Structure 1
Amino acid sequence: MEKIGIVKSEFEKPVNPEKMKEYESTLVIDEEYARGLEGLEVGQSLQVIFNFHLIDDYKLFGPKRIGEPRGVFASRSPKRPNGLGVTAVELLAKDGNQLRVKGLDAIDGTPILDIKSYSKLMDQVDTDTDHHQGHHQAQPRTEIEKLIEDNDLEKLLLKAGELHGHFCPFVSLGVKAAAYAMQELDVSSQGMEEIVAVVETNSCFSDGIQYVTGCTFGNNALIYRDYGKTAVTVATRDGTGIRLYLENYNVVDENYPEASQLFDKVIAQRNGSAEEEERLNKKWQQIAFELLEYPIEELFKIEEVEIDVPDYAPIKEDKFCSECGEKIMAGKEVTIEGEDYCVPCMESNYLQLDGRGLELIGHV
């Protein structure tokens, strides 16, 4: 194979591919191949085929950045028998034999072997097969883990919206923060407490965290600390974690004042018209997807931290209320004179998590 050009990039050595894909690159095509660029239009998607020219060996099986070790043909590892890389990019500008693109994860000086127009008809695969469904049943987070690996924040937000019910700025920020933490820690989740997410708010932000990390109240991997801060810490069982705190908390107010005014009237005051509610939903959707494009460092304070991770959820013998007969989760019973009762029957105080945060509800 002969190269048809080279990549011009500000990255002289490989870094996190998700970071590289946020930057622009230039494809400088050799003059003898320049006529082959005729017909390319700004805004279209291209597939760039290139050579991992600094890799001098290959590895058929080994660890990957996210998830379990696997064969090279089931990964995007650069250590491949023929050293080929393929990445879809967006064409931003065309100037003679130079193409300015966004989304390329190739370093400066990378030899370009080919460029192809991306076609949804030809390049997207219908995965709705019995085999795919069976694999998805065995590993239900396969699709999510792939989206995290590809840093496909838009699709993650689309899926998180199914859980949250609507698109809004803070569910978007939760998706962005969670995906970043999962990538940096190089972890995956099966909902078995192998990782935990410590959220410091019960706002929309938390739904983005739950969807992307797979840490939920139901699988005991979501820990809620009633601090009232838009922040999350994602950690492994040994306590190694990353905390992201929304430092640019005025990002919506400063950049989208109309949305802030609508929010105040429709949500805060509960005094908006149906037309204003519809306008807010449209603005929220716009803002949610636009926030995905912000460099994460402009939004969050990011820290590497060590935390005390709670022990795995204990398995104890359940109790039964002597009054109503209903089963009670172990540890939640009220014991009086050797008899077990539930909280409602005894009208005891209890903690409740609602829109106000964690509240102590008292009967006495």
Structure 2
Amino acid sequence: MERIIMHPIGIIHSPYSENKDIPIQGIFKGEVEAWIELKEKYVSGLKDLNKFSHAIILYYFHKSQREEVQGQPFLEQNKHGIFAIRSPHRPNHIGLSVVKIKKIEANKMYFTEVDVLNQTPVLDIKPYVKYFDNRNNVRCGWLDKHFKDDNIPGRAILR
């Protein structure tokens, strides 16, 4: 298989118009609200999603202009492999965010814990299911040293 073609199912509307304003993870700025505007043909796909508290959003990093195999992530001075970091400059430019669902109205899903640029194309939405998506005894590689004893470093909150 040489090529995969995907089409956006909607667009994210967020208050972030520049990369410098986005938190490194949405959970660190949990009160910020955004919404997904779904294309009409996918609206019935939202049925029952309102019964979940969280969702996983897959999206396309539409502003990323390059592809890297290594990068220097926030909080680090060293480069790491692209599959060990969450840079937008990755092969295929696919992003993932776990968000907290606030409400669903017509073709819009409102959520918090946003870490995505305004006008980002949405590829898919899935319910976050604690029975499937949560893991125990997780190692976080190079990040573990920055989050010792579950303390969030101040630099993780704002860029």
Please say whether Structure 1 and Structure 2 have the same fold, judged by a TM-score greater than 0.5. yes
Task: Specify every segment of 5 or more residues in structure 2 that has no aligned partner in the other structure, as ranges.
Answer: 1-5
The residue type equivalent to 1:143 in the other structure is D
Q: Cα–Cα, structure 1 residues 19 and 72, in superposed 2: closer, same or farther, change >3 Å?
A: closer
The question of whether the paired residues in 1 share the 8 Å contact of 2:54 and 2:100 is answered with: yes
Residue number in structure 2 paired with 1:39: 48
CA deviations 1:154-196 (Å, max 9, x no partner) are x836xxxxxxxxxxxxxxxxx6xxx22x44798xxxxxxxxxx
Residue number in structure 2 paired with 1:111: 121
Name the SS of the counterpart of 1:12 in structure 2: coil
The question of whether the paired residues in 2 share the 8 Å contact of 1:42 and 1:94 is answered with: no
2:64 pairs with one of 52, 55, 59:
55
Are 2:144 and 1:143 equivalent residues in the alignment? yes
1:7 pairs with one of 6, 12, 17:
12
TM-score of the superposed pair, with normalisation by structure 2: 0.80
For residues 90 and 70 of structure 2, the distance between their equivalents in structure 1, rounded to whole angstroms, comes to 10
Bigger CA radius of gyration: 1
Residue number in structure 2 paired with 1:79: 89
Task: Specify every segment of 5 or more residues in structure 1 that has no aligned partner in the other structure, as ranges.
Answer: 149-154, 158-174, 187-364
The question of whether the paired residues in 2 share the 8 Å contact of 1:43 and 1:92 is answered with: no
CA deviations 1:57-114 (Å, max 9, x no partner) are 2111121111231011000000011000000000011111101100121111100000
1:30 pairs with one of 33, 39, 58:
39
1:17 pairs with one of 23, 31, 40:
23
Name the SS of the counterpart of 1:122 in structure 2: helix
For residues 71 and 45 of structure 2, the distance between their equivalents in structure 1, rounded to whole angstroms, comes to 38
Residue number in structure 2 paired with 1:156: 150
The aligned runs of 1:201-280 (5 Å cut-off) are none
Alpha-carbon deviation of 1:125?
Answer: 3.0
Q: Which has the higher contact order (CA 8 A, sep 6+)?
A: 2
- Greater shift after overlay, 76-85 or 16-25? 16-25
- Structure having the larger proportion of residues in helix: 1
The residue type equivalent to 1:86 in the other structure is L
For residues 46 and 100 of structure 1, the distance between their equivalents in structure 2, rounded to whole angstroms, comes to 11
The question of whether the paired residues in 1 share the 8 Å contact of 2:52 and 2:128 is answered with: no
Alpha-carbon deviation of 1:42?
Answer: 5.8
The aligned runs of 1:328-343 (5 Å cut-off) are none
The residue type equivalent to 1:105 in the other structure is D
The question of whether the paired residues in 2 share the 8 Å contact of 1:45 and 1:90 is answered with: yes
Name the SS of the counterpart of 2:91 in structure 1: coil
The aligned runs of 1:309-324 (5 Å cut-off) are none
Matched residues, number: 149
